Amino acid sequence: MAKTDIYQRRDLNVVEGQGLTALDCIGWEDPVGGMGLRVFFKSGTSYDPFDPKPREGCATFSEARTINGGPMFIGQADHPAGHIKMALKNGVLSLPVQQPETDLFEDMNVCMVERNGETIEVIEDWLRYHIAGHGLEAVLMLDREKSNSDRGFERKLKVLVEECGLKRLVHVKSAVPLGAGDLPAASHPYNAPDAPGKDRMDDLPVDPQTAPLADLSLYEWAKWRFLGRARAVMNIDLMDLLAPGAAPFDAVHDSSVGVIQLIGQRIYPWRVRPKKKPTFGDHICRQFDNPRANRRWCIAPARLGSDKVWRFVRIVDAEPQADETMGFLRAMAIRHPDYNAAELVPKTSLIEDEHLLAMAQDVWGHKPVRPPESKMQEPAGKAIEGGRTVIVTCMKNEGPFILEWIAYHRAIGVDDFLVYTNDCNDGTDELLDLLQDRGILQRRDNKFAGSDLKPQHWALDAADKEEVFQNAGWAISMDVDEFINIHVGEGKLDDLYKAVGDANMISLTWRLYGNADVHDYKDEFLINQFTRCAPELCRKPHQAWGFKTLFRNIGIYKKMGVHRPKGLKPDLWDKIKWVNGSGKPMPKKLIRNGWRSTTDSYGYDLVTLNHYAVRSAESFLVKRDRGRVNHVDRDQGLSYWFRMNNNWEENASAQTKLPLLQAEFDRLMADPELRAAHEYSVGKHREKIDELKSTENYANFYKDLTGERMERLSRMHNHFGANVFLAGPDVIPDEVALMDDIPKDFFFTVERAKTTH
């Protein structure tokens, strides 16, 4: 073969007319007479303009198939010709006929690739790698640049293919954009499967010229125009590298149906050096927790025959066996060269892969930037040997409830408390300062004002720097309305730690406790007053079924979070031994983020986190007036009460700790100053309740809270769909809310609506 024949330039025979865009019309002389036809139209083309009835002078079409949204018409003309006419309801569409050029790739190992901005340097690396190690002989390149653009690139490509050992490269362009009409360039992070924060990517710059390929019928088109006589055809991109040792061009001939499934693992650089474009050798990291893959194929056309449709990720009616797979590596920064790794993937999920590192060094001769090696404190082997336990919490006007909460948790084995407060006027600060003077806890001012952080987030950031936190063996962030309810042994933390063996994280699943129809505030233990709660399996509403996490303070994560530690050091992920409240392993998908319980993460056998989110109706008035420590911009109105006031069933298991609680509470109350401070806060709470109830707004609100309708709804949560909890109680008609003898299988829901508070 002459070198001048190796590089061939072609165009799609695009025709635009009558509001239609035909991508190509392929015709060949039929052995039985006439001319066989395949006509391909752009994705999204409607069938409405076409006239299915035979018309004189027009080609006839026996079948139309939609391939990934693009119509393909199968038909015949009476005799071979350079043009055909397609009958439309309002005229005809004249199309030039392109004869197949399958001889160009006859008996070759071919890869069909899409070029979407990749540089000549990337293409050279890609070609030489696959020619030298994987038997690549020819390439059909669909170039997304316009037909008449970048002649300089074409000249460079021609020189490259004539020198690199390739037998053939056919370079195809299109006069019309082939990308999705509603997406930005394929190189934009929005089109990176693992990119974080897509929900915050607004006003995306739509660009059909460079957007991800929408006209996926072009794989079937390629079969008819170029590839039907190839020895083997592989479908991967210029960002993809076959795994070392993979030989799909040969293996496909021994496969069951002539198809090998190619499974692509996405790989990333840790960092690309300044002012450098990413190369394959930079890609030394993979996600430790993402099993999802990109699927492509390698086929033997002669084995399949012409009737099997070639789609983007599969061949219709030609399913390979489960073990007929080979791997490839998808180098993500090649497709997204102008973005750093953190914009393409959560960096907390990336770990260095020794095989990728070896490949970077041995294959590419590259010295990539490697991730830092994280350090962690070497923990004792058993949870029980972890050391002191600290609770970090935030408070605002929680005075009446502090002593019970402190006494309860001291009684079950909590050693230290770090409390952040802001804007208190009910004696909270004074009571906490007295407890601090007695060495029971430490209080700090919450100086979130002036920062960009919410009160709870500011406090947790500050806590990381405190000695009491740094010296703790176990830590948890929790609120004063949450009680750790341990069900093993004597109900103490040591019993829990013994039960979980060598775990270094324990998630405590919320169990939401309602107001048990208690209207009036009383200075009595919460665990005595409120014994009605949600069922153990409580998937709705999603806001009410989360977890908090006790964790060993050993440096696997960078900081404390509201529900669980955050900022995983990804190279330490395999050091995590995280169990749920039943002592069973937590799902791997939650290692990096997530705080809501799921059917495979919840558990209550060893420990529950009792969440008394509403307390009495009167106390809830004060809670609403006070505001929240995290979602400070959200009201705590009737919808919040409806979601969080769950009185489905009775459970008084926390009362097994009453003797422990009472003894510690009495010890604290024996201190005259502590007693006086507690009674002062109780009085201020009572004053605030009376003040609020004297206003028309809060009086009406209290009437709603304590009315028959809301009390009945608090026992009906399991009968409602998720959208009911989003929309709020007003969407529930009275005939539902007030119905008697509710059938067990009764279910009510509404259309999705904006979340109310």
Answer for the pair 379, 554: CB distance below 8 angstroms, yes or no: yes
Q: How distant is the alpha carbon of residue 14 from its chain centre?
A: 39
Would you state the pLDDT for residue 628? 47
Would you state the pLDDT for residue 631? 42
Residue 494 confidence class, pLDDT cut points 50, 70, 90? very high
CA distance 294 to 724: 37
- 182, burial (CB in 10 Å: exposed 0-12, middle 13-18, buried 19+): exposed
How crowded is the C-beta side of 562, counted as CA atoms within 13 Å? 15
Domain boundary (73, 101, 129) is at: 101
Query: What's the domain count of the chain?
Result: 3
Residue 137 in this model has a pLDDT that exceeds 50: yes
Residue 632 confidence class, pLDDT cut points 50, 70, 90? very low
CA distance 86 to 59: 6
Residue 241 in this model has a pLDDT that exceeds 70: yes
CA distance 514 to 388: 32
Which H or E run includes 482? strand 482-486
Q: Which amino acid is at 240?
A: D
Answer for the pair 59, 21: CB distance below 8 angstroms, yes or no: no
Backbone angles phi, psi at 454, to 5 degrees: -75, 160
Q: Is position 207 within any domain?
A: no
- Mean pLDDT computed over 325-347: 98
Residue 754 in this model has a pLDDT that exceeds 80: yes
Would you state the pLDDT for residue 32? 82
Would you state the pLDDT for residue 3? 65
CA distance 727 to 723: 6
Q: Same domain for 416 and 313?
A: no
Domain boundary (688, 707, 735) is at: 688
Residue 1 confidence class, pLDDT cut points 50, 70, 90? low
Tell me the percentage of the chain whose pLDDT exceeds 90: 91
Q: Is position 31 within any domain?
A: yes
Q: For the full predicted model, state whether its pTM sits above 0.85.
A: yes
Q: Which amino acid is at 498?
A: K
CA distance 94 to 88: 10
Domain boundary (85, 101, 117) is at: 101
Q: Same domain for 365 and 429?
A: no
Summarize pLDDT for 687-725 with one digit per residue, the tens: 999 999 999 999 999 999 999 999 999 999 999 999 999
Residue 456 DSSP SS3: helix
Q: Same domain for 344 and 434?
A: no
CA distance 526 to 519: 13
Q: Is position 235 within any domain?
A: no
Which H or E run includes 661? helix 658-669
Residue 541 DSSP SS3: coil
Given the structure tokens 């230290």, which residue do they identify?
416
CA distance 511 to 651: 10
Residue 354 DSSP SS3: helix
What's the token pair of residue 623? 């809670």
- Mean pLDDT computed over 119-131: 98
- Mean pLDDT computed over 385-399: 96
Tell me the percentage of the chain whose pLDDT exceeds 70: 98
Q: Is position 327 within any domain?
A: yes
Would you state the pLDDT for residue 465? 95
Backbone angles phi, psi at 323, to 5 degrees: -95, 5
**Closest by Cα among 95, 84, 21 to 55:** 84
Summarize pLDDT for 426-471 with one digit per residue, the tens: 999 999 999 999 999 999 999 999 898 999 999 999 999 999 999 9
Q: Same domain for 414 and 547?
A: yes
Summarize pLDDT for 196-216 with one digit per residue, the tens: 999 999 889 999 999 999 999
CA distance 434 to 466: 20
Backbone angles phi, psi at 729, to 5 degrees: -70, -20
CA distance 420 to 458: 9
Would you state the pLDDT for residue 4? 67
Q: Is position 455 within any domain?
A: yes
Would you state the pLDDT for residue 633? 46
Three-state SS sequence of 699-717: HHHHHHHHCHHHHHHCCCH
Answer for the pair 448, 455: CB distance below 8 angstroms, yes or no: yes
CA distance 683 to 382: 46
Would you state the pLDDT for residue 757? 76
Would you state the pLDDT for residue 380? 66
Residue 512 in this model has a pLDDT that exceeds 80: yes
Would you state the pLDDT for residue 662? 98
CA distance 738 to 732: 10
With b for 16 or more beta-carbon neighbours within 10 A and e for fewer, the 655-674 pattern comes to: eebbebbeebbeebeeeeeb
Q: Which amino acid is at 383?
A: A
The terminus-to-terminus CA distance of the chain in angstroms comes to 74
CA distance 405 to 408: 5
Q: Same domain for 427 and 518?
A: yes
CA distance 657 to 32: 91
The pairing of strands 91-96 and 109-115 is unpaired
Beta bridge partners of 88: 50, 91
Backbone angles phi, psi at 125, to 5 degrees: -60, -45
What's the token pair of residue 149? 């653009």
Q: Is position 566 within any domain?
A: yes
Answer for the pair 44, 177: CB distance below 8 angstroms, yes or no: no
With the C-alpha atoms ordered 331, 68, 197, 749, is the resulting torsion angle positive or negative?
negative
Q: Same domain for 669 and 596?
A: yes
Q: Same domain for 546 and 407?
A: yes
Q: What range defines the domain where residue 406 resides?
A: 383-688
CA distance 274 to 610: 51
Residue 635 confidence class, pLDDT cut points 50, 70, 90? low
Residue 439 DSSP SS3: coil
The pairing of strands 325-331 and 294-299 is unpaired
CA distance 445 to 424: 10
Residue 370 confidence class, pLDDT cut points 50, 70, 90? very high
Residue 753 confidence class, pLDDT cut points 50, 70, 90? confident
Query: Residue 697: CB partners within 8 Å, gap ≥ 6?
Result: none
CB atoms within 10 A of CB 103: 9
Residue 146 confidence class, pLDDT cut points 50, 70, 90? confident
Would you state the pLDDT for residue 79? 85
Q: Same domain for 405 and 349?
A: no
Answer for the pair 394, 418: CB distance below 8 angstroms, yes or no: no
Give, in degrees to the nearest 5, the angle at Cα 444 between 613 and 408. Answer: 45
- Mean pLDDT computed over 135-139: 98
Q: How distant is the alpha carbon of residue 355 from its chain centre?
A: 27
Summarize pLDDT for 81-116 with one digit per residue, the tens: 899 999 999 999 999 999 999 999 999 999 999 999
Q: Same domain for 17 and 72?
A: yes
Q: Same domain for 470 and 329?
A: no
Summarize pLDDT for 262-283 with one digit per residue, the tens: 999 999 999 999 999 999 999 9
- Mean pLDDT computed over 660-671: 98
Answer for the pair 579, 566: CB distance below 8 angstroms, yes or no: no
Residue 65 in this model has a pLDDT that exceeds 70: yes
DSSP state of 542: G
CB atoms within 10 A of CB 440: 16
Would you state the pLDDT for residue 634? 46
- Mean pLDDT computed over 324-344: 98
- Helix, strand, coil percentages for the chain (3-state, nearest 5): 30, 25, 45
Q: Same domain for 362 and 392?
A: no
Would you state the pLDDT for residue 436? 98
Q: Which amino acid is at 619?
A: S
Task: Catalogue the E-assigned strands of 523-669.
Answer: 532-533, 547-552, 557-559, 566-568, 578-579, 607-611, 649-650
**Summary mean pLDDT of the chain:** 95
Q: Same domain for 457 and 507?
A: yes
Q: Is position 230 within any domain?
A: no
Residue 293 DSSP SS3: coil
Q: Is position 66 within any domain?
A: yes
CA distance 233 to 299: 5
Rg (CA), the chain: 34
With the C-alpha atoms ordered 456, 461, 467, 471, is the resulting torsion angle positive or negative?
positive
